[in-house]
Structure 1
Amino acid sequence: MSGDGRLARPARAGGRRGWRPRLDSLAFRLVAGAAVWAAIALVAAALILTALYRDTVERGFDERLAVYLKTLVGNLANQTPGQLGDPGNLGEQRFELIYSGWYWQVRQEGGPVVLASRSLATDTLDLAKARDAKTVDGVESAVMTGPDGQELRVLSRTIIFDADHRYDVLIAGNASDLEQEIRSFRTSVMLTLAVFGAGLIAATGVLIRLGLRPLDRVRRSLAEMRSGREQRLEGPFPAELEPLARELNALIASNQEIIERARTHVGNLAHALKTPLSVITNEARSAGGPLAAKVIEQAEIMRMQINHHLDRARIAARSKVIGAVTEVQPVLERLVRAMGRIHGDRGIEVALTVAPGARFRGEQQDLEEITGNLVDNACKWAASRVAVTVERIGEGEDAVVVVRVDDDGPGLTEAEMAEATRRGRRLDESKPGSGLGLSIVTDLAGLYGGDFAMDRSPLGGLRAVVTLPAADA
Structure 2
Amino acid sequence: MAVAALWSVAALALAGFILVELYRDTVERAFDSQLEVYQKAIIGAMAPTDGSTINRPENLGEPRFNLPLSGWYWTIADWPNWRIVHASGSLVGDMLLVPPLAYGQRTGGGFATGPGGEELRVSQRIISFDGKTYLIAVGGKTEGLRKDLAAFTGQVALTLAVFGLGLVAAVLLQVRFGLLPIRRMQQSLAAVRNGEAERIDEDLPRELAPLAVELNALIRSNAEVVDRARTHVGNLAHALKTPLSVLSNEAALSDDAFARKVSEQAGLMRTQVDHHLERARQAAQRRVIGVATPVEPVLARLLRAMTRIHDARGLAFDSQLEPGIRFRGEQQDLEDLAGNLIDNACKWADMRVEVTARLLPGATPERTLFEIIVEDDGPGLTEAERREAVKRGRRLDESVPGTGLGLSIVADLVALYGGSFELGEAEIGGLKARLVLPATPAGG
TM-score range, shorter chain: 0.7 to 0.9
Deviations 1:137-186 (A, max 9, x none): xxx342353454534321436365xx467765443333465355435433
Contact 1:133 1:143 in 2 (8 A): no
Q: Aligned-pair RMSD on alpha carbons? A: 2.9
Instruction: Return the offset for 1:347.
Output: 2.8
Corresponding residue to 1:209 among 161, 164, 176:
176
Task: State the AA in 1 paired with 2:439.
Answer: A
| Correspondence 1:448 to 2:417 | yes
Task: State the AA in 2 paired with 1:193.
Answer: L
Instruction: Return the offset for 1:430.
Output: 0.8
| Correspondence 1:241 to 2:208 | yes
Instruction: Return the offset for 1:446.
Output: 1.8
Counterpart of 1:452 in 2: which secondary structure? strand
Query: Aligned partners of 2:208, 2:140: CA distance in 1, in Å?
Result: 67
In structure 2, the partner of 1:371 is: 338
Query: How do 1:347-366 residues align onto structure 2 when only pairs under 5 Å count?
Result: 347-366=314-333
In structure 1, the partner of 2:292 is: 325
Task: State the AA in 1 paired with 2:242.
Answer: T
Query: How do 1:155-304 residues align onto structure 2 when only pairs under 5 Å count?
Result: 155-156=124-125, 158=127, 160=129, 163=130, 169-175=136-142, 177-179=144-146, 181-304=148-271
In structure 2, the partner of 1:8 is: none
Instruction: Return the offset for 1:277.
Output: 1.5
Task: State the AA in 1 paired with 2:307.
Answer: G
In structure 2, the partner of 1:42 is: 12
Deviations 1:41-62 (A, max 9, x none): 2232123212221221122112
Per the alignment, do residues 376 and 197 of structure 1 end up closer, same or farther by CA in structure 2, a change over 3 Å counting?
Answer: same
Deviations 1:350-383 (A, max 9, x none): 3444222122111010111111111111121122
Task: State the AA in 2 paired with 1:331.
Answer: V
Contact 2:73 2:138 in 1 (8 A): yes
In structure 1, the partner of 2:273 is: 306
Task: State the AA in 1 paired with 2:214.
Answer: E
Query: Aligned partners of 1:110, 1:419: CA distance in 2, in Å?
Result: 113
Counterpart of 1:379 in 2: which secondary structure? helix
Query: Aligned partners of 1:317, 1:417: CA distance in 2, in Å?
Result: 29
Corresponding residue to 1:400 among 348, 365, 369:
369
Query: Aligned partners of 1:380, 1:155: CA distance in 2, in Å?
Result: 114
Counterpart of 1:129 in 2: which secondary structure? coil
Task: State the AA in 2 paired with 1:417.
Answer: R
Greater mean deviation of Cα atoms: 298-307 or 339-348: 339-348
In structure 1, the partner of 2:386 is: 417
Contact 2:4 2:168 in 1 (8 A): yes
Greater mean deviation of Cα atoms: 453-462 or 269-278: 453-462
Deviations 1:296-331 (A, max 9, x none): 111111111111111111111211211111122322
Task: State the AA in 1 paired with 2:263.
Answer: I
Per the alignment, do residues 61 and 132 of structure 1 end up closer, same or farther by CA in structure 2, a change over 3 Å counting?
Answer: farther
Contiguous gaps of at least 5 residues in structure 2: none
Counterpart of 2:435 in 1: which secondary structure? strand
| Correspondence 1:58 to 2:28 | yes
| Correspondence 1:88 to 2:58 | yes
Query: Aligned partners of 1:339, 1:407: CA distance in 2, in Å?
Result: 13
Query: Aligned partners of 1:104, 1:282: CA distance in 2, in Å?
Result: 131
| Correspondence 1:119 to 2:119 | no
Query: Aligned partners of 1:333, 1:32: CA distance in 2, in Å?
Result: 52
Per the alignment, do residues 43 and 347 of structure 1 end up closer, same or farther by CA in structure 2, a change over 3 Å counting?
Answer: closer
Query: Aligned partners of 1:268, 1:144: CA distance in 2, in Å?
Result: 101
Identity value in percent: 49
Query: Aligned partners of 1:113, 1:386: CA distance in 2, in Å?
Result: 117
Instruction: Return the offset for 1:68.
Output: 1.7
Per the alignment, do residues 131 and 48 of structure 1 end up closer, same or farther by CA in structure 2, a change over 3 Å counting?
Answer: farther
TM-score (norm 1): 0.83
In structure 2, the partner of 1:14 is: none
Instruction: Return the offset for 1:225.
Output: 1.5
Contact 1:390 1:401 in 2 (8 A): yes
Task: State the AA in 1 paired with 2:86.
Answer: L
Per the alignment, do residues 158 and 75 of structure 1 end up closer, same or farther by CA in structure 2, a change over 3 Å counting?
Answer: same
In structure 1, the partner of 2:433 is: 464
In structure 2, the partner of 1:23 is: none
Task: State the AA in 2 paired with 1:440.
Answer: I
Instruction: Return the offset for 1:63.
Output: 2.0
Per the alignment, do residues 116 and 342 of structure 1 end up closer, same or farther by CA in structure 2, a change over 3 Å counting?
Answer: same
Greater mean deviation of Cα atoms: 193-202 or 270-279: 193-202
Counterpart of 2:306 in 1: which secondary structure? helix
Greater mean deviation of Cα atoms: 304-313 or 173-182: 173-182
Counterpart of 2:179 in 1: which secondary structure? helix
Deviations 1:424-449 (A, max 9, x none): 11111111100111111111122212
Counterpart of 2:271 in 1: which secondary structure? helix
Counterpart of 2:253 in 1: which secondary structure? helix
Per the alignment, do residues 435 and 55 of structure 1 end up closer, same or farther by CA in structure 2, a change over 3 Å counting?
Answer: same
Query: Aligned partners of 1:107, 1:388: CA distance in 2, in Å?
Result: 110
* Aligned residue pair count: 437
Query: Aligned partners of 1:274, 1:318: CA distance in 2, in Å?
Result: 22
Query: Aligned partners of 1:102, 1:147: CA distance in 2, in Å?
Result: 9
Answer 1 or 2: higher relative contact order, Cα 8 Å, separation at least 6: 1
Corresponding residue to 1:316 among 283, 288, 296:
283
Query: Aligned partners of 2:298, 2:282: CA distance in 1, in Å?
Result: 18
Task: State the AA in 2 paired with 1:402.
Answer: E
Query: Aligned partners of 2:406, 2:261: CA distance in 1, in Å?
Result: 25
Deviations 1:219-255 (A, max 9, x none): 2222212211111111422222212211111111111
Contiguous gaps of at least 5 residues in structure 1: 1-30
Instruction: Return the offset for 1:349.
Output: 3.6
Counterpart of 2:127 in 1: which secondary structure? strand
TM-score (norm 2): 0.88
| Correspondence 1:130 to 2:101 | yes
